[in-house]
């Protein structure tokens, strides 16, 4: 009886427990797969942990990572986003205006921004401490963002904020597994089970692009909250090229066959069940609207199919649980639930293309690029070019009239040693120089201060929809660094972080057909959020004049030698008794001549000639100058020897 009772209690508790005992802490895992037009595949992992506010719930958690909770409370973080990226998102081929590309395509290296709930004069100190903590947490050199020259305070161009936002980027940070492991540690199941278990490290780092992102949204401090206390969103976006299983490529009708792929062919593993702690665990396969319309065209031609699960143009190896359609465009989401699958029956979603298809991605109205002009180590100019994506005009709006305008907001941070002359901003529309006041709607610059703060440029442009290209140029001078400010690989050049280009008028959101209860998936609700389209430009590499680093010591040595020579000769000139020395020499010579005949008589005539020569050379003035020269040479030799051995 004594044994039975605890069992009973446990059983009773267990019955009503599963949701109750987590008390509102939730974790969900999702994976979105999407074929890309250039024969690549996008895999987007989305993990989300939420916890209720502390004042109701206390500070002991069951699922929510302790580290993040303590981070939020120690630094009073309202919002934070940290991303580690390797490779550059190809906006042209992989899309530019869908939710994934505008919120998960990140600049290379590390990007960190945070909004704090602290008094404005404490924000900088909090930011510095935060960078150090994150640096330790994620094994990255985020602590370099501590210095005031490395971060900036965007006023309005990056996000609407009230002065407590800080933004910093490290374009040259190398991202690897040591950053991924701590990121995975924040998941309750880590990569032991669930969707994260397919994260094969070589497969990830072999890819063309990968970006791991961490976003914290907290409602802990003050403001009225309907949302949960802290929301931790972790995403990992990978673009990989699947191994082409079919060697023969079909070039019929001039189209390249898309490669067939499956989860196991991309990652080398299959999904063997859910993470038992996840509330929901599902995999989505997305077909973009342009692809769907292409497939439909093909599908009309070849309606016949033999597989169980067939769609026009391709085959799926696993039947989806349901098909979700986008409301505006006609993109399609196939949902697969992982619940049914386990070790013995793993999930391996595969796509087999039946016909070659060619499509292009949905792009942002303008494609942003940035490059440098000029040569030499003195000056140059930065150019941001916006090229219209002509075929995508539908996004700008149906009306093509004169009244149609697109707002473009550019936010650019440049380090202080690239000294931007903001008065030299020029805007060219379709190759024509325009009056800046006519095009620039709003501009805010904060010039850089040497070794104190970077230069920040926030520009809002209003461009007519018919603009084919817009080019903004700005000139800069290259500054000089102190000897101790050069990085170890100074000759490589200096990276200027990516500029952010925002299109506030255009929302990157997808709205799916279906009632809200069926669309409670966190990833889909994220996609439905209204966020403006965002894209990043390239990182610039500016070469600066690099000195010879042994120069200071060389300068010291040579200056000292010159001074010593000067001083020595001055002293000599003051001290010497020239007349006296001459007399002495004569005495010597006299003495010698008195003795010489004795010696000379014994020497041959040849020797006599030589001695005569020596007499000549012993005449006072040439000897003096010779002595001086000898001394100088000796001193120089000493200096050289000193420099050689001790320098």
Phi then psi for 434, rounded to 5 degrees?
A: -110, 160
> Looking at beta carbons only, is 75 or 417 nearer to other proteins?
75
**Rounded Cα gap, residues 76 and 287, in angstroms:** 40
Rounded to the nearest whole angstrom, what is the least distance from the CB of residue 192 to other proteins in the complex?
4
Rounded to the nearest whole angstrom, what is the least distance from the CB of residue 505 to other proteins in the complex?
40
Rounded to the nearest whole angstrom, what is the least distance from the CB of residue 78 to other proteins in the complex?
17
Rounded to the nearest whole angstrom, what is the least distance from the CB of residue 645 to other proteins in the complex?
11
The bridge status of strand 280-287 relative to strand 26-35 is parallel
Retrieve residue 276's tokens.
């038992």
> Looking at beta carbons only, is 300 or 594 nearer to other proteins?
594
> Looking at beta carbons only, is 343 or 378 nearer to other proteins?
343
Strand locations in 52-138 (E): 77-86, 109-116
**Rounded Cα gap, residues 496 and 465, in angstroms:** 30
> Looking at beta carbons only, is 446 or 569 nearer to other proteins?
569
Rounded to the nearest whole angstrom, what is the least distance from the CB of residue 136 to other proteins in the complex?
9
**Rounded Cα gap, residues 83 and 142, in angstroms:** 11
Strand locations in 537-599 (E): 540-542
Spatial neighbors of 393 by CB under 8 A, at least 6 apart, are: 365, 400, 465
> Looking at beta carbons only, is 182 or 350 nearer to other proteins?
182
> Looking at beta carbons only, is 593 or 626 nearer to other proteins?
593
> Looking at beta carbons only, is 184 or 456 nearer to other proteins?
184
**With contact defined as beta carbons under 8 Å apart, do 234 and 186 qualify?**
yes
For residue 44, the tally of other CB atoms under 10 A from its CB is 21
**Rounded Cα gap, residues 74 and 509, in angstroms:** 33
**With contact defined as beta carbons under 8 Å apart, do 444 and 461 qualify?**
no
Rounded to the nearest whole angstrom, what is the least distance from the CB of residue 449 to other proteins in the complex?
25
> Looking at beta carbons only, is 58 or 488 nearer to other proteins?
58
Spatial neighbors of 495 by CB under 8 A, at least 6 apart, are: 109, 171, 172, 539, 540, 541, 542
Q: In whole angstroms, what separates CA 24 from the centre of its chain?
A: 35
**Rounded Cα gap, residues 635 and 626, in angstroms:** 14
Rounded to the nearest whole angstrom, what is the least distance from the CB of residue 403 to other proteins in the complex?
53
Rounded to the nearest whole angstrom, what is the least distance from the CB of residue 20 to other proteins in the complex?
9
Rounded to the nearest whole angstrom, what is the least distance from the CB of residue 272 to other proteins in the complex?
11
> Looking at beta carbons only, is 390 or 574 nearer to other proteins?
574
Burial of 42 (0-12, 13-18, 19+ CB in 10 A): buried
> Looking at beta carbons only, is 268 or 591 nearer to other proteins?
591
**With contact defined as beta carbons under 8 Å apart, do 50 and 26 qualify?**
yes
Strand locations in 430-509 (E): 432-434, 440-446, 455-464, 469-478, 494-496, 500-507
Hey, what's the torsion of the CAs at 143, 149, 151, 154, to 10 degrees?
170
Retrieve residue 583's tokens.
């007399």
Rounded to the nearest whole angstrom, what is the least distance from the CB of residue 565 to other proteins in the complex?
8
Strand locations in 19-76 (E): 26-35, 41-51
Q: At which residue do the structure tokens 């004795």 appear?
A: 598
> Looking at beta carbons only, is 343 or 489 nearer to other proteins?
343
Rounded to the nearest whole angstrom, what is the least distance from the CB of residue 133 to other proteins in the complex?
6
């Amino acid at each position: 009886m004594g044994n039975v009772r605890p069992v009973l209690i446990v059983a009773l508790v267990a019955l009503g427990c599963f949701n109750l005992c987590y008390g509102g802490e939730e974790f969900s895992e999702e994976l979105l797969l999407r074929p890309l037009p250039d024969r690549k595949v996008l895999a987007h992992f989305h993990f989300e942990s939420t916890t209720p506010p502390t004042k109701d719930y206390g500070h002991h958690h069951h699922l929510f990572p302790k580290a993040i909770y303590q981070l939020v409370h120690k630094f009073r973080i309202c919002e934070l986003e940290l991303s580690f990226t390797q490779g550059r998102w190809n906006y042209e081929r992989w899309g530019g205006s869908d939710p994934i590309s505008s919120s998960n395509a990140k600049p290379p290296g590390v990007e960190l921004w945070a909004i704090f709930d602290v008094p404005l004069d404490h924000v900088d100190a909090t930011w510095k401490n935060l960078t150090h903590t994150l640096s330790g947490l994620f094994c990255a050199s985020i602590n370099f963002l501590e210095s005031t020259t490395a971060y900036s305070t965007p006023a309005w161009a990056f996000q609407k904020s009230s002065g407590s936002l800080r933004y910093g980027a490290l374009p040259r940070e190398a991202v690897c597994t040591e950053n991924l492991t701590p990121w995975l540690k924040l998941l309750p199941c880590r990569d032991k089970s669930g969707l994260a278990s397919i994260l094969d490290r070589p497969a990830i780092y072999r890819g063309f692009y990968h970006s791991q992102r961490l976003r914290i949204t907290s409602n802990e401090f003050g403001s009225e909250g309907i949302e949960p206390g802290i929301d931790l969103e972790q995403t990992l976006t990978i673009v990989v090229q699947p191994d082409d299983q079919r060697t023969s490529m079909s070039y019929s009708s001039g189209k390249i066959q898309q490669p067939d792929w499956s989860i196991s062919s991309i990652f080398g593993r299959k999904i063997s069940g859910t993470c038992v702690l996840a509330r929901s665990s599902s995999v989505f396969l997305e077909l973009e609207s342009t692809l769907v319309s292409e497939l439909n065209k093909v599908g009309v031609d070849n309606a016949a199919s033999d597989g169980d699960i067939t769609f026009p143009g391709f085959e799926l190896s696993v039947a989806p649980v349901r098909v979700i359609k986008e409301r505006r465009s006609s993109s399609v989401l196939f949902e697969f639930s992982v619940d049914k699958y386990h070790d013995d029956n793993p999930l391996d979603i595969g796509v087999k293309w039946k016909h070659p298809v060619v499509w292009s991605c949905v792009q942002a109205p303008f494609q942003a690029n940035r490059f440098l002009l000029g040569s030499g180590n003195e000056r140059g100019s930065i150019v941001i070019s916006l090229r219209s994506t002509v075929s995508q005009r539908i996004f700008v709006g149906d009306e093509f009239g004169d009244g149609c305008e697109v707002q473009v907001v550019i936010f650019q941070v440049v380090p202080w040693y690239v000294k931007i002359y903001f008065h030299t901003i020029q805007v060219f529309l379709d190759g024509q120089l325009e009056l800046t006041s006519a095009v620039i709607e709003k501009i805010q610059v904060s010039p850089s201060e040497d070794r104190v703060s970077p230069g920040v440029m926030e520009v809002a442009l209003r461009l007519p929809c018919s603009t084919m290209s817009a080019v903004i140029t700005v000139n800069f001078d290259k500054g000089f660094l102190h000897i101790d400010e050069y990085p170890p690989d100074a000759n490589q050049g200096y990276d200027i972080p990516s500029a952010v280009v925002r299109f506030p008028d255009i929302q990157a959101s997808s709205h799916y057909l279906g009632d809200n209860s069926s669309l409670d998936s966190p990833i889909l609700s994220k996609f439905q959020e209204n966020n403006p389209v965002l894209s990043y430009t390239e990182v610039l590499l500016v070469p600066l004049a690099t000195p010879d680093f042994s120069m200071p010591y060389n300068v010291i040595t040579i200056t000292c030698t010159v001074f010593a020579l000067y001083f020595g000769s001055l002293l000599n000139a003051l001290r010497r008794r020239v007349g006296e020395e001459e007399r002495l020499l004569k005495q010597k010579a006299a003495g010698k001549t008195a003795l010489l005949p004795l010696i000379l008589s014994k020497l041959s005539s040849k020797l006599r000639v030589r001695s005569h020569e020596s007499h000549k050379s012993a005449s006072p003035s040439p000897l003096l100058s010779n002595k001086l020269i000898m001394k100088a040479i000796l001193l120089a030799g000493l200096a050289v020897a000193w420099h050689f051995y001790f320098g």
